[in-house]
Chain A
Amino acid sequence: MNTSLLLQLLVNGVIVGMLYGIVAMCFVLIYKSTQVVNFAQGEFVVLGAWVCLSLVVSLGLPFWLAFIFSLVFMMIFGILVQVILLRPLVGEPVISVIMATIGLSIFMQATMNWIFGNNAVRFPQVFDQATVSIGGLNVETAYLMSLVLSLVVMGLFFWFFQYSRWGLAMRATAWNQQIAQSLGISVGRVFAMAWAISAVVSGIAGVVIGLVSAVSNSLAIIGIKVFPAVIVGGLDSIVGAIIGGLTIGILENLAEFVDGQYLHVGNMYSVAPFYVLLIILMIKPYGLFGTPDIERV
């Protein structure tokens, strides 16, 4: 048994899992507050990364400025998507809403392919030091930043929902729209805000992934990987999304390890999460932390 490889893969799993968790959180946020499943979440991630990258590369902006600009762009984009595309579909059956976001995802994919090209592009050197030494262990700065940013985002989420006025409004809306409305909460604004936050955080995740590896349209697969994560955690639990993301990240890398060392079937990395997804759906359809949907007649 190759322990150092296993350890390396586990660390990878945690870092990737954190990112899955963040994107899953965005996904859950939208689902919880607007009852929309966003199949274009992966494209949101990629869009954020591309915008930041092209600001850095073509306009020559410093990284942090480009990062902030791209987040502002994502915020506006998220609001526009909600207002233009999803507001007319409020009250339509589930399938229409799902298809609308699927249509959006196809459209965004093609548009981004056209504008930004099909190739993977790396960020120019952003950090002065490529690696940082922590307790004798060399860690890539990008990985470290990814971990730190993930934790910061999670902390901000927690603070926002627990203590801020708008967070309370969003929780109220998620719990019961009619009651929230009767208490003077503008549900329309809450919806727009959910999409804005989700787009911004997806953008952050995109930039971080872009820093860790490279920016390419194939990153959108993260939008698909998010499904096993949210199903493990439960579609409407934000904590569940993070735990689910971590689980799937680690599971992927473990599957890779077991496959590479013992099974040699290949491609387990990308398929294992889906087997887990099917099994969980059979045993615990509402995930680990989801609320069961009990219908009374």
Chain B
Amino acid sequence: MAHVPNPRPTGDFRVSYAADRTLFKTRNETYFVIAGVLLVALAPLFFGGYVLSQLILIGIYAIAALGLNVLTGMTGQISLGHGAFFGFGAFASAWIASRGIPVMFAIPLAGVMTMAVGMVFGIPAARLKGLYLAIATLASQYILEDFFARADWFTGGTYGSLAETASFFGYQLDSDASYLYLVLFWVIVSFVGVANLARTRDGRALVAVRDHYLSAEIMGINLTKYRILSFGISSFFAGIGGALYGHYLGFVSGEGFTILLSIEFLAMIIIGGLGSVSGSLLGAAFILLLPQAMEIFANAVATVVPAIAQGTAYIKQMSVGAAIILFLVLEPEGLVHRWRLMRASWKLYPFSH
């Protein structure tokens, strides 16, 4: 990653290793995050259904994208099957909840189930890397999709399955406003969890595997263990995200979890910033809002050029493809990098270094 100057405020010296490894680098960063969480928590007071549903979806996708970021950004392994794991989580949670287990527990249980499945499909990763791994995960995407269509007892087959409404000690979380808090809770848990993971021995081992796997192995890191572990962690978050998604919609059907969703997850972390925790959130928001922004734009253009009107759906998909390409060519480090550059130039103004 290209170097971006990030000067600390004057007088902010680190005198111990513990201080150097804090979760937030500066006090302002801490305030910023807390303010963000508070703003989202207060959102139901000011906004109506549309904004809330977008916030919920961003949160759900961000959790899953974060999982993929652990796998791809931190460990350097590509997965083209993340959408299928997301779907597995949704089905698993609906299935568990239909056995009479409260949704509150079904969600983490679904995460654990998806984690187990992810680790099984991660076994090829122990031997493969790069392209071969990408293709192996592509196979897992198709095999899981086939499983969704086939396993009637688990997914309801082609009809899909109903997911119960979440409830909290008897209080039904059936409105957007109340569901937002459940999603917010899981977003915080996941993001703090992954941010902390990066500071532990295991997290550093994952990064070492990404940077140079041979050196990592020589340093005594068990490659097989960490590669499969990374698949496990990633699918855990995919499962949590999927479970939240399923209970939010109340209905799970296999059609939504195609390769396109997997690609969108990859697009999220690339646009947000590979390996960046906050980038996952930015990328999820970007990929979710971009097609909608494009739709508004296309509708506006359609008033002038009526020929555009029937192409709105296509323009939405084209914009995702174009966004991936443009980011890769123009800003391969993602939105987070752009943000860091802006912050650095703000702090250093009027000097450039």
Contact = CB atoms under 8 A, between A and B. Distances in A.
B321 A103 contact: yes
Interface stretch (A13-21, A104-112, A254-262): A104-112
A224 B318 CA distance: 20
Contact of B324 (A88, A99, A281): A99
Given A99-B324, A104-B325, A107-B321, A267 B146 contact: yes
Contacts of B76: 95
Given A100-B329, A111-B314, A227-B135, A281 B124 contact: yes
Interface in A71-125: 85, 88-89, 92, 94-96, 98-100, 102-111, 113-114
A132 interface: no
A274 B80 CA distance: 13
Contacts of A278: 124, 136, 139-140, 143
B251 interface: no
A106 B131 contact: no
A235 interface: yes
A94 B78 contact: yes
Contact of A270 (B142, B214, B322, B323): B142
B132 A285 contact: yes
Contacts of B256: none
Interface stretch (B2-10, B48-56, B259-267, B343-351): B259-267
Contact of B72 (A95, A102, A270, A275): A95
Interface string B309-335: 001001111101111110011001000
Contacts of A275: 139, 143
A228 B317 CA distance: 27
B134 A106 contact: no
A282 interface: yes
A245 B324 CA distance: 30
B328 A89 contact: yes
Contact of B270 (A31, A99, A227, A228): A99
A297 interface: yes
Interface of B is mostly: helix
The interface size bin for chain A is 35 or more
Interface in B133-166: 134-136, 138-140, 142-143, 146, 149-150
B119 interface: no
Given A100-B328, A265-B150, A105 B138 contact: no
A148 interface: no
A204 interface: no
Given A37-B134, A267-B146, A281-B124, A95 B321 contact: no
Interface string B30-65: 000000000000000000000000000000000000
B130 interface: yes
A110 B314 contact: yes
B329 A106 contact: no
Given A105-B321, A106-B320, A271-B142, A37 B214 contact: no
Interface string B172-216: 000000000000000000000000000000000000000000100
B108 to A, nearest CB: 29
A95 B327 CA distance: 13
A102 B127 CA distance: 24
B229 interface: no
B341 interface: no
A96 B139 CA distance: 20
A267 B318 CA distance: 30
A110 B321 contact: yes
Given A231-B135, A271-B146, A295-B214, A99 B266 contact: yes
B281 interface: no
Contacts of A224: 138, 142, 259
A277 B136 contact: yes
Nearest to A98: B134
B325 A100 contact: yes
B274 interface: yes
B318 A110 contact: yes
A269 to B, nearest CB: 11
B128 interface: yes
Nearest to B139: A274
Contacts of A297: 214, 218
B318 A111 contact: yes
Nearest to A95: B78
B139 A285 contact: no
Nearest to B316: A110
Nearest to B210: A93
Contacts of B311: 114
B279 to A, nearest CB: 14
A8 B98 CA distance: 46
B83 to A, nearest CB: 13
Contacts of A108: 321
A108 B318 CA distance: 8
B131 A110 contact: no
A297 B315 CA distance: 48
Nearest to A295: B214
A114 B214 contact: no
A264 B118 CA distance: 28
Contacts of A99: 266-267, 270, 324, 328
Nearest to A109: B317
Contact of B325 (A94, A107, A270, A282): A107
Enumerate the 6 nearest inter-chain pairs by beta-carbon distance, A residue then B residue, closest first.
Answer: A107-B321, A103-B324, A106-B321, A110-B317, A114-B314, A274-B139
24 contacts: A94-B78, A95-B76, A95-B274, A96-B270, A98-B78, A98-B131, A98-B134, A103-B324, A106-B260, A107-B318, A109-B321, A111-B314, A114-B314, A114-B315, A224-B138, A224-B142, A265-B150, A266-B150, A270-B142, A271-B143, A274-B139, A281-B124, A281-B139, A297-B214
Given A99-B270, A109-B321, A274-B139, 8 more contacts: A31-B131, A85-B325, A98-B134, A100-B325, A103-B328, A111-B314, A281-B124, A285-B132
